[in-house]
Amino acid sequence: MSKKSGKSRNKNYPYTVVEGIDKYVDAALLAEMPDLTLYTGLKLETKLLKKVGITTSEITRKSMTRKEIVQRVYPHLFEGYNFYNLCVSFWMDFVASDIIERIEKEQNCAIKEIALEDWEEIMDWAIQEKMKVSSMITLFRFVDSPVLHPLIPALIEKYPKKYYQETGVKPGEEFQLGELELKTLDETEEALSEGRTEESASDQELLSGLDEAVKVMGLLKQRLSSVGEDYRSKYEAAHEQINNLTNQVTNLSKELKEKEQQNEMLQKHNEALQKQNRDAKKNVEGLESQLQTQKKESGRLGTLVGEIRKEKDDLQQENRQLQSKVSTLEQEKSVLTKQIEQQLEGEWSKKMLVLRMEKENEAQQFEREINSLSRQVEELEAQLQPQRTRILCLEEELQELRQKYDQLFQQPVHVPEPIQDDGEDLEDFSLDIFIDNKPMQIK
């Protein structure tokens, strides 16, 4: 029973429309509410109260009667869904079951099994049993909806005075009322406006109200025990959930503290890596400067070697020309010697002897010149040798620098991306040296 009560109290009921007479069935629903539900529920609906022109203080002081509240609120009940749902939930939980039980007991069948044509007799019986017209209207609205909706206009048209007395709302042109019913309504309205009521009607309403109050109190007593159990279980579940959430918050706080510590360590590690990156960048810039200097020096040496090589080639060419000249002179000498030998037999032998001596002197002079040039060539070769040795040393130094450069970039140092372009530039580095007036590329 507690489960059923708990479910109905938490259920959201959609606004049930009764075509053409929504306001009248809303008035009947409000008339079914006890003071506690009516006043307390409305106190929370500030927007609805503002809409109908009622202040919270008027509700708190109960300066308005139930009927005055119903007359103000019923045209706008559909605009305050929360209050509407509260009223429906209360009626379904505490009123509907008693009415349905009495009707089913009288008819000896389930309420949904009652034929539509039998309800007119049941309505008369219910009124005789001092059931309220507003209770029957609300029953037809929500139970077996919308099958029983057509019974609502007929019920109001049959008992317009009781409806008016219970709700304070006068049935309008939506209902087919005879002259007698309209006259009775007018008299009742005059009596209510003058503060007079028929004694029998007043007594009947008082007795009906007391009877309903006793029934509601009995139902409340039965339901409160089950609701208490339901709320106790809900409290225990909520308490356990709070404990679980508290433990989760504690664990999350510890994890957050650990994450913050890890974050601080990572920040310090990042700062160290950035410092290493800056140092490595400076080292690379220094190596680049050294490489540029070596490149310029190599270019200068290459130019110097080329000039020396060219000078050597010129000297060798001049040497070859001198050798060719010496060879020619020797041939001439041989020819002249033969001529002189031939002429020695004659009168010109003495003259030829003198000529031979002159030629020999010339040959000796040429040999001295050739020897001098050979010595110059040897001196140039001796001067060139240190330059060749220096070039070889420079080539070895360049090779060592290249190896150091490769080793530097092969070390597992986490260097950020700013130095990646520099590595590619160094890989493309090439050094051109001119040796013997020919380009030589060192990579």
Q: Tens digit of pLDDT for each residue in 31-70?
A: 999 988 899 889 889 899 999 999 988 888 888 888 899 9
Q: Tens digit of pLDDT for each residue in 371-429?
A: 888 888 888 888 888 888 988 899 898 998 888 888 887 776 555 555 555 554 444 44
Q: What's the rounded Cα separation, in Å, for the pair 133 and 123? A: 9
CA distances from 27 to 66, 84, 165 (A): 11, 11, 12
Please give the helix or strand (H or E) that residue 51 lies within, else none.
helix 46-52
C-alpha closest to that of 73 among 20, 65, 155, 142:
65
| pLDDT the model gives residue 2 | 38
Pair of tokens at residue 290: 């050294």
- Burial of residue 314, with CB atoms counted within 10 A of its CB: 0-12 exposed, 13-18 middle, 19 or more buried: exposed
Helix, coil or strand: residue 435: strand
Q: What's the rounded Cα separation, in Å, for the pair 104 and 124? A: 15
- Tell how far CA 321 is from the center of its chain: 90
* Predicted TM-score (pTM) of this structure: 0.45
Please give the helix or strand (H or E) that residue 438 lies within, else none.
strand 438-442
Could you please report the per-residue DSSP string of 209-278?
HHHHHHHHHHHHHHHHHHHHHHHHHHHHHHHHHHHHHHHHHHHHHHHHHHHHHHHHHHHHHHHHHHHHHH
C-alpha closest to that of 113 among 125, 99, 121, 103:
103
Greatest extent of the chain over all pairs of C-alpha atoms, in Å:
200
| pLDDT the model gives residue 133 | 93
| pLDDT the model gives residue 379 | 86
Map tokens 């008992």 to a residue. Answer: 159
What residues does each domain of the chain span?
Answer: 2-197, 293-442
Q: What's the rounded Cα separation, in Å, for the pair 74 and 179? A: 26
CB atoms within 10 A of CB 135: 21
Q: Tens digit of pLDDT for each residue in 165-190?
A: 899 888 878 887 766 666 666 566 56
C-alpha closest to that of 67 among 199, 187, 188:
188
DSSP annotation of 77 reads G
Q: For residues 122 and 151, is the Cβ–Cβ distance under 8 A?
A: no
Q: Tens digit of pLDDT for each residue in 105-146?
A: 999 999 889 988 899 899 999 999 889 999 999 999 998 768
Bond prior to 146 in cis (omega within 30° of 0)? yes
Map tokens 């049993």 to a residue. Answer: 129
Q: What's the rounded Cα separation, in Å, for the pair 257 and 262? A: 9
